[in-house]
């Protein structure tokens, strides 16, 4: 058995099921081993940002790391922005990066680069195999690192000789340890704060989004008369009918600060301190008021759901029904507005849909309008590195067959990883992408004003995508994804319903005037 074969056997024996891949010469023995040893679904992606974004979504939907196959430092670097997003989502991802054979590194051939240096920027675990005999155990260790609660990005660098040399030894990853419990003293302190009558907020994130933890958090807040908010960009949040109406920290700095106004005590549950997405001249970096007391009830690495249960028990919080969001709306009609898109979405999305949200500025109002939709999961861009929506849709559809994926996709962000549409077509994935075609970097126009910069012609041109206008119907069609264009909400409703009734991918270019 060579090193590559030991790697494939070790992955399969350790429970890995899926590889998102963009291979090169140094990975040929690994690719050949994938061929010989059945058991892994291999998904070809035509850009590494698609590979890594798909792996991120796969973890968010299954709680199990997928493997990625990346080519040398440059291939890894192409995928780094979505590994950054995966790190922010606390997703477990196992990267396998082929590299120059160990003896070839000193010759400084063209693709030789500092893979480990690049990997350390986004990974919790980085290891380079020394010999074929090490590869199996190294893979098992890297996988165990990716699975550590709540999930980490992990990289195994596989020099070509360690793949082709004989002497591979199969190894199996140790199962992950359960999440560490929160400190009982922290839970007691949170209970005391919620009982002392001061204005208090629960800020919830990460693992505490899992049902029923979010319901428990909401019940606690209702019972104690506290406010509740969730982190700005949830990795995955259960939403729709029967789910609790928890709002996100707003993106614009002034709204973010306003959301915390008057709060004197802030309790963090599986999330960090709330801070501005960026610094703005003359504005605070932290969103909560000066003098507000802050405590960590559970860190993102601790068992937030159990901590919330313990807190509810300590407080004697009664069960509370989830508020009725009212009747499911009918599809909206007329000119395109964010509220209208949300209404149409709520009207036509199927039960148990997965919503991918890289809607950027246009999507800020989508939460309230989708409360009366059937139960669904909402998956967001977590790390602010745009260009993950289309890859997330790929990974979610592969992770959750039978569930419809609807991607709300801003046009500028879509261009970074549009190649993912090809994988959607090739794998016949049930994904409907709605391109929000405002033909500009609208969010940056707001940011220009926000930082107090001068909006001259050159600056405005840097945010204009209308010259030439992108033709998404042709772009999608050229990659095998059937597409249509909607100019108003009536056309959106018809095209969306038609796409949901058919298997396979579809793209709707929604023109925003
Ligand atoms: C990887 C990366 N590159 C650049 C940026 C800076 N950036 C933030 S938003 C944005 C434009 C987004 O435009 P679009 O996706 O069309 O959404 P809209 O602003 O129109 O809502 C850019 C370029 C970023 N956040 N991440």
> For position 232, what pLDDT does the model report?
95
Do 56 and 82 form a contact (C-beta atoms < 8 A)? Answer: yes
Q: Is the CB of 387 under 6 A from ligand 1?
A: yes
pLDDT above 90: residue 451: no
The pLDDT of residue 513: 87
Q: Are 70 and 97 contacting, i.e. CB atoms less than 8 angstroms apart?
A: yes
Cis peptide before 386 (omega within 30 of 0): no
Does the beta carbon of 385 sit less than 6 angstroms from any atom of ligand 1?
yes
CB atoms within 10 A of CB 2: 19
Q: Report yes or no: 242 and 271 within 8 Å, Cβ to Cβ.
A: no
DSSP for 113-150, written as a single string: --HHHHHHTT-SEEEE--SHHHHHHHHHHHHHHHHSTT
Within 227-324, strands assigned E span 227-230, 237-239, 265-269, 293-298
Check whether 414 has a pLDDT greater than 90. yes
Q: How far apart are CA 236 and CA 57, in angstroms?
A: 9
- Cis amide prior to 468 (ω within 30 degrees): yes
Band (pLDDT 50/70/90 cuts) for residue 197 is very high
Q: Looking at residues 315-331, what average pLDDT do you find?
A: 94
In the structure encoding, which two tokens stand for residue 191, read together? Answer: 């209970």
Q: Is the pLDDT of residue 449 over 90?
A: no
Per-residue pLDDT tens over the stretch 207-231: 999 889 999 999 999 999 999 999 9
Q: Which of 301-310, 437-446, 449-458 shows the lowest per-residue confidence on average (mean pLDDT)?
A: 449-458
Q: Which two tokens stand for residue 229?
A: 């908010």
Q: Whose CA is nearest to atom 26 of ligand 1?
A: 385
Report the 10 Å Cβ neighbour count for 64: 16
As a whole number of angstroms, the distance between CA 480 and CA 279 comes to: 42
pLDDT at 452: 83
Tell me how far the alpha carbon of residue 264 lies from the centroid of ligand 1, in angstroms: 34
Average pLDDT, the chain: 97
What per-residue string of b and e applies to 39-63 under the rule 16 or more CB within 10 Å gives b? ebeebbbbbbbbbbbbbbbbbbbbb
* Mean pLDDT, range 225-250, rounded to an integer: 96
Name residue, tokens 């070790």: 10
Which atom belonging to ligand 1 lies closest to the Cα atom of 411? 16
> What ligand 1 atom has the least distance to the C-alpha of 440?
20
Phi, psi of 172 (to 5 degrees): -120, 135
Q: Is 81 in the pocket of ligand 1 (CB under 6 A)?
A: yes
d(CA 47, CA 419): 7
Q: With a 6 A CB cut-off, is 444 part of the ligand 1 pocket?
A: yes
| Helical (H) or strand (E) element with 155 | strand 153-159
pLDDT in tens, 425-443: 999 999 999 999 999 999 9
Query: Could you tell me if the CB of 251 is within 6 A of ligand 1?
Result: no
| Residue 105 vs residues 111, 376, 459: alpha-carbon distances, Å | 10, 49, 44
With a 6 Å cutoff on the Cβ, whether 418 touches ligand 1 is: no
pTM of the model: 0.98
Within its chain, how far is the Cα of 427 from the centroid? 21
Alpha-carbon distance of 74 to 70, in angstroms, equals 9
Residue 226 to residues 28, 195, 223, Cα–Cα distance (Å): 57, 10, 8
Ligand 1: residue of 438, 441, 461, 469 to mutate (most ligand atoms within 8 A of CB) is 441
Q: Give the distance (Å) from ligand 1 centre to CA of residue 291.
A: 34
């Amino acid at each position: 058995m060579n090193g590559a074969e030991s790697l494939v056997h070790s992955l399969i024996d350790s429970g890995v099921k899926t590889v998102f891949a963009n291979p090169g010469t140094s990975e040929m023995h690994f690719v050949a081993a994938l061929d010989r040893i059945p058991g892994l679904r291999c998904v070809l992606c035509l850009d590494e940002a698609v590979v890594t974004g798909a792996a991120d979504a796969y973890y968010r939907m299954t709680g199990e790391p997928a493997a990625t196959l990346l080519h040398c430092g440059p291939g890894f670097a192409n995928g780094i922005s979505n590994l950054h997003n995966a790190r922010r989502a606390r997703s477990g991802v196992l990267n396998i990066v082929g590299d120059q054979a160990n003896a070839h590194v000193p010759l400084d051939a063209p693709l030789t680069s500092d893979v480990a240096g690049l990997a350390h920027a986004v990974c919790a675990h980085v290891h380079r195999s020394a010999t074929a005999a090490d590869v199996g155990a190294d893979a098992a260790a890297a996988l165990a690192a990716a699975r550590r609660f709540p999930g980490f990005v992990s990289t195994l660098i596989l020099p070509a000789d360690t793949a082709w040399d004989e002497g591979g030894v199969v190894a199996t990853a140790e199962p992950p340890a359960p999440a560490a419990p929160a400190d009982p003293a922290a839970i007691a302190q949170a209970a005391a704060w919620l009982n002392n009558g001061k204005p208090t907020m629960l800020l919830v994130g990460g693992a505490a989004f899992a049902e029923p933890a979010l319901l428990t958090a909401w019940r606690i807040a209702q019972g104690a008369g506290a406010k509740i908010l969730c982190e700005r960009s949830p990795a995955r949040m259960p939403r729709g009918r029967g789910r609790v109406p928890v709002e996100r920290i707003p993106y614009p700095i002034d709204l973010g600060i306003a959301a915390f106004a008057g709060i004197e005590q802030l309790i963090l549950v599986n999330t960090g301190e709330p801070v501005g997405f960026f610094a703005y001249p003359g504005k605070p970096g932290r969103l909560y008021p000066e003098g507000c007391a802050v405590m960590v009830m559970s860190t993102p690495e601790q068992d937030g759901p159990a901590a919330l249960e313990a807190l509810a028990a300590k407080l004697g919080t009664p069960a509370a029904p989830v508020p009725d969001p009212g009747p499911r709306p009918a599809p909206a009609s007329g000119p395109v507005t964010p509220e209208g898109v949300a209404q149409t979405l709520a009207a036509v999305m199927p039960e148990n849909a997965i919503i991918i949200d890289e809607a950027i500025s246009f999507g800020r109002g989508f939460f309230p309008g989708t409360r009366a939709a059937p139960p669904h999961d909402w998956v967001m861009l977590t790390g602010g590195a745009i260009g993950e929506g289309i890859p997330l849709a790929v990974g979610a559809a592969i992770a959750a067959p039978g569930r419809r994926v609807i991607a709300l996709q801003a046009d500028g962000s879509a261009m970074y990883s549009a190649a993912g549409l090809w994988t959607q077509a090739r794998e016949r994935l049930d994904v409907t992408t709605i391109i929000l075609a405002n033909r500009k970097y609208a969010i940056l126009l707001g940011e220009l004003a926000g930082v107090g910069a001068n909006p001259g012609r050159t600056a405005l041109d840097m945010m204009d995508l209308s010259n030439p206008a992108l033709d998404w119907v042709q772009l999608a069609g050229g990659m095998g994804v059937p597409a249509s264009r909607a100019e108003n909400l009536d056309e959106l409703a018809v095209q969306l319903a038609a796409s949901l009734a058919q298997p396979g991918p579809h793209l709707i270019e929604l023109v925003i005037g």
